[in-house]
Amino acid sequence: MIALAALARAEIVDRIAVIAGNQVITQSEIRREIRLTAFLNGEQPDFSPAARRKAADRLIEQKLIRRELELSRYPLPEVTAIQPTWKELLRERSWSERELEGELAKAGLSRPDLERRLLWQHTLLRFIEVRFLPGVHVSEEEVRESFEASRAGHAAGNVRLSFEQVREEIERTLRDRQVDRELDQWLKDARGRTRVEIRPEAFE
């Protein structure tokens, strides 16, 4: 019995691919992340070492954000928030609920796997909205500079829209870029404060 227990513990340790702070990421989590990403993108899953490392990095970032959400008690979306996204997926793929579950099974996934992934996407958006959007400001000058640069890049014969016609779109684009930079910097800082151990043998 002791030998069997030791073997079981060894198998559990073998399945750990990353330790981030006091949290672990297992090889099965990485494989599921790859399957979910491929499923939503309509692609075949790539389980190469490089793809598994990228998936592990995404999961590390997810762990860091979830920890921040818990510590700061950010408001989290209800599970009902995924319903519009769920219906949109069915519409885009022309699937019924039964067909969706069949496709999930073929991809090695379950309905709860997809529900958790979609809920995470909404949670991430909520985190960004609360944590970064309030501090983002795009000036009139920045919008105009972007507009002029865009006009300069068009051929003379192309139809040109007025500043007012594209103003909101340009402002939204600049705001999104700034938010992305803020999020990237936050993740870099958070990862720098966290002890992350990546086990190379898990990615061979």
Torsion sign (Cα): 155, 160, 162, 163: negative
199 in any annotated domain: yes
148 in any annotated domain: yes
Please report, in tens digits, the pLDDT of each residue of the chain (204 residues total): 544 444 445 445 548 999 999 999 999 999 999 999 999 999 999 999 999 999 999 999 999 999 999 998 888 888 899 999 999 999 999 999 999 999 999 999 999 999 999 999 999 999 999 899 888 888 888 888 888 887 765 544 455 778 788 888 888 999 999 999 999 999 999 999 999 999 999 998
Single out the residue of 33, 48, 42 nearest to residue 109, CA to CA.
33
pTM comes to 0.83
Kindly report the number of other CB atoms within 10 A of residue 155's CB atom. 5
Supply the range of the domain harboring residue 26: 2-73+132-203
120 in any annotated domain: no
When divided into structural domains, the chain yields a total of 1
Residues 6+ away with beta carbon under 8 Å from 142:
174
Between CA 178 and CA 55 the distance in angstroms is 24
**The domain spanning residue 166 has which CATH number?**
1.10.4030
